[in-house]
Structure 1
């Protein structure tokens, strides 16, 4: 039986970051994932979404030794722009920008492709002597006691750990084995994720365009084949998203360019399109005996305002702080109760805000879309409110 301080179930971005963080802090770590990570842009199964690390998340990456490896590939996000295109003709009728200069001399965040993040994180894990990553192996059973957890893996082997970290997604096997329930909200939406090039430079501006069905979001990426490039998340009601995903490339380029209001010129698809359902989900508790939930095992939210992964890394930071404060009590009940208290209420409140934003972005009725535009204009016009919203967006508690 393998014995470690921490077993991490899940080798996505949150799980790999957790492995780096706890390994850097001196804990022995085993990270498992049933799917081998794809680390090349053009390979089958590559995650073509991108992640915007806001300032607090970037600080955590620097603290755990990852940022030096990621920084050369990161695209700064200097401005967050919101466009309301909810008029009858679908043309932009209100544009409001939130500039990071109002808060500090640093960008709001930095954007990186998810496939590249996995590549660089795995390379960093290989330099940590007490961290092991086992791709192709998942968790198959969990037995907890006061002093330890025993986990059965899908290859038949067993692991004894003081703490099990569930970073294994919205259908988390560890969460289910620990008997923790969830509350789920379904919006009837799906999101398309892909990458594009365009003739007009993005100038480090991330843009959300609101019409109906959900936002169309363009997030800056490094140039691709000598052209400006952006990652796109396009949220629509389910049937419409499926129709768009089935279009041939020429027709899709035409429709997405129109949906983007041509703010960056005609868009050209440069990757495959992935589609996934949009839900909100929160676990009833973030901990159980010898188990801590982070990331989508704990909470799932619509991809608005770069909140998902940044909230996940705030989970990790809280758990890491508690572990480093008292390594001798790693995984015991008081530590995990403190983790639950530190995160559950705060995340629930943040999720309610994201839920309201998403429902506002979906509005079909013209009078409601008009109210949405007026609300955006009013919030932006008040400087203290505008700056407060920007601070909240970056993860501040108030």
Structure 2
């Protein structure tokens, strides 16, 4: 039986059911904005993991949902960088410890499915949020309104639309916002492991000639793995017998966590990058992977998206304080002004770091090695890097 068409009018409509979309919808609703979320109600069961840093956790605490997330999250207390290459110029092993900043942890690692389940439940329970259990099919924007139409024909009209519908965003395309895309000769193999030795809250990243090989703690004696390889090697690893795969990954990890057992289905993702030429248009704001995509280096992806959300909520609040509607040009320009410098600097930094792992150009290798050496030997420089990683933009402000 076909579902009846509906017409919904609200202040803001968010399109996209990933963490960025659900958090944005929840944040808007909790600030008194009558909000609709257009996305399937069922939370995506994604076995990948996300490391959340300080500012992201602060936002989740403000929304009142961090206590629901915490039981399935694992604290990250130490970041260990190891040069796993055999190049002429190699970086020294470097440790970044949260205790040096006077905090118990840098952040937490959580399986995406667990995060998504908490977010889906919170959205369903929020009285000021209407959940539309559909995919968006059309989007139209004018100076007066944003109108989203779902596949069954439900229409949602709002002063502000927020695009959280991913790198191939329908809303961004409908608004005519152009993007810059690029690719890397790399593919990420992603899976979760059990191991016989405790991780002790230490996240270990081997820098290899093909990219990072990163083990990030999960609750118990488990860790998530991101192994960046050539497409050919990643494909071979993905199709290996799991016992043989575990043995090869253990060898690559130098058995620092003992014997490995693969406990999730291996997934592969070709690495690419993308930035939108603008993060606003008439009645539209872009957040998350609608605005920026880059390789999984330094756990910057969702954390950058969370800063998008925080700045959007700030711009909305400022517009309300001035008596403006939340999708007005002034409100959107305030949001874009806050976001573009952060997006560009983070995208460029991740791109440079990733490419530095791939190059055989000796001056680049020397510069990377020198940077790691200074981080290991010079306390103030190391602490600045740690503060900036936890809360970007505060490297010169926070003092342990």
TM-score using structure 1 length: 0.91
1:72 is aligned to 71
Task: For residues 308-343 of structure 1, give each alpha carbon's deviation from its aligned partner in whole angstroms, at most 9, with x where no partner exists.
Answer: 100000000000011123334201111101111110
Work out which of the residue numbers 87, 101, 113 in structure 1 matches 2:111: 113
List aligned pairs for 1:279-298, cutoff 5 A.
279-298=272-291
2:381 is aligned to 385
Structure 1: distance between partners of 2:142 and 2:363: 57
1:338 is aligned to 334
1:211 is aligned to 208
Report which stretch shifted further, 248-257 or 50-59: 248-257
Structure 1: distance between partners of 2:189 and 2:42: 23
Structure 2: distance between partners of 1:86 and 1:120: 40
Whether the 8 Å CA contact 2:182–2:273 is kept in 1: the answer is yes
Task: For residues 91-143 of structure 1, give each alpha carbon's deviation from its aligned partner in whole angstroms, at most 9, with x where no partner exists.
Answer: x98321101122232311011110000111111112211212234x2222222
Structure 2: distance between partners of 1:377 and 1:101: 20
Work out which of the residue numbers 245, 265, 285 in structure 2 matches 1:252: 245
Whether the 8 Å CA contact 1:145–1:289 is kept in 2: the answer is yes
Task: For residues 213-254 of structure 1, give each alpha carbon's deviation from its aligned partner in whole angstroms, at most 9, with x where no partner exists.
Answer: 11011111012xxxx000111111212111111111122112
Whether the 8 Å CA contact 2:311–2:335 is kept in 1: the answer is yes
State the secondary structure of the residue aligned to 2:93.
Answer: strand
RMSD: 2.0
State the secondary structure of the residue aligned to 1:329.
Answer: coil
Whether the 8 Å CA contact 2:55–2:390 is kept in 1: the answer is yes
Task: For residues 23-54 of structure 1, give each alpha carbon's deviation from its aligned partner in whole angstroms, at most 9, with x where no partner exists.
Answer: 2112222112368423xxxxxxx311111110
Work out which of the residue numbers 359, 366, 391 in structure 2 matches 1:395: 391
Structure 1: distance between partners of 2:225 and 2:98: 21
The Cα of 1:88 is off from its aligned counterpart by 6.3
2:100 is aligned to 102
Whether the 8 Å CA contact 1:310–1:395 is kept in 2: the answer is no
> Structure 2, unaligned stretches of length 5 or more?
1-6, 396-400
Structure 1: distance between partners of 2:34 and 2:363: 57
Distance 1:371-1:318 versus aligned 2 partners, 3 A rule: closer
The Cα of 1:147 is off from its aligned counterpart by 2.3
State the secondary structure of the residue aligned to 2:138.
Answer: strand
Whether the 8 Å CA contact 2:374–2:382 is kept in 1: the answer is no
State the secondary structure of the residue aligned to 2:254.
Answer: coil
Structure 2: distance between partners of 1:283 and 1:20: 24
Whether the 8 Å CA contact 2:55–2:391 is kept in 1: the answer is yes
Whether the 8 Å CA contact 2:34–2:128 is kept in 1: the answer is yes
Structure 2: distance between partners of 1:213 and 1:259: 13
2:175 is aligned to 178
Work out which of the residue numbers 153, 157, 160 in structure 2 matches 1:160: 157
**1:59 aligns to 2:52 (yes or no):** no
**1:140 aligns to 2:133 (yes or no):** no
Distance 1:104-1:331 versus aligned 2 partners, 3 A rule: farther
State the secondary structure of the residue aligned to 1:354.
Answer: helix
Whether the 8 Å CA contact 2:374–2:381 is kept in 1: the answer is no
2:82 is aligned to 83
1:7 is aligned to 13
**1:150 aligns to 2:147 (yes or no):** yes
Whether the 8 Å CA contact 1:192–1:245 is kept in 2: the answer is yes
> Structure 1, unaligned stretches of length 5 or more?
39-45
**1:22 aligns to 2:28 (yes or no):** yes
Structure 2: distance between partners of 1:302 and 1:355: 8
Structure 2: distance between partners of 1:140 and 1:188: 33
Task: For residues 267-306 of structure 1, give each alpha carbon's deviation from its aligned partner in whole angstroms, at most 9, with x where no partner exists.
Answer: 2101101111211211000100000000000101111111
**1:169 aligns to 2:166 (yes or no):** yes
